[in-house]
């Protein structure tokens, strides 16, 4: 079986375009995860709530910034799960620990998002 040849490195605008393509491919992969779709629904729901409570533009920007951090952490958690599933197709304690830690990271950002939205709504 032939080993595929490593693609040449891109520079300049070609590098930027390739990176954008990789990011879009990552977003398509992440969209397959129900947790990601639920988190997007949460972000949108909180956005509507803040708008109904008359949040300022900086407050809405803060919510969206934390929402982007949540998406980033979910993407990293999904990547971690992909690697763990490859390394340990069966059950193992290290796989469980790694997945639990990834889940904790996502939960922490969700908590931060909820605290932020709560503070904006209450104040």
Query: Which tens digits make up the pLDDT trace of 62-78?
Result: 999 999 999 999 999 99
Contact 115, 44 (CB under 8 A): no
pLDDT at site 81: 97
Residue 15 lies in a domain: no
Residues of the domain holding 89: 33-122
Residue 50 lies in a domain: yes
DSSP string computed for 2-47:
PPPPPPPPP-HHHHHHHHHHHHHHHHHHHTT-HHHHHHHHHHHHHH
pLDDT at site 85: 96
Residue 110 lies in a domain: yes
Residue 13 lies in a domain: no
Catalytic center residues:
74
Residue 18 lies in a domain: no
pLDDT at site 4: 80
Low-confidence ranges of the chain (pLDDT < 70): 1
pLDDT at site 56: 98
Residue 26 lies in a domain: no
Residue 96 lies in a domain: yes
What pTM, to 2 d.p., does this model score? 0.89
> What is the CATH number for 40?
1.10.287.3610
Who contacts 94 (Cβ-Cβ below 8 Å, separation ≥6)?
88
Residue 17 lies in a domain: no
Domain count, the chain: 1
């Amino acid at each position: 079986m032939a080993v595929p040849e490593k693609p040449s490195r891109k520079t300049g605008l070609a590098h930027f375009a390739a990176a954008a393509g990789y990011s879009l491919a990552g977003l398509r992969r992440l969209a397959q995860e129900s947790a990601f779709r639920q988190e997007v629904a949460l972000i949108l729901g909180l956005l509507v709530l803040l708008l109904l409570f008359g949040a300022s533009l900086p407050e809405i920007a803060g919510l969206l910034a934390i929402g982007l951090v949540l998406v980033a952490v979910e993407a990293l958690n999904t990547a971690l799960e992909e690697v763990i599933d490859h390394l340990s197709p069966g059950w193992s304690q290290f796989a469980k620990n790694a997945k639990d830690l990834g889940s904790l990271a996502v939960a922490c950002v969700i908590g931060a998002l909820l605290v932020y939205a709560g503070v904006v709504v209450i104040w």
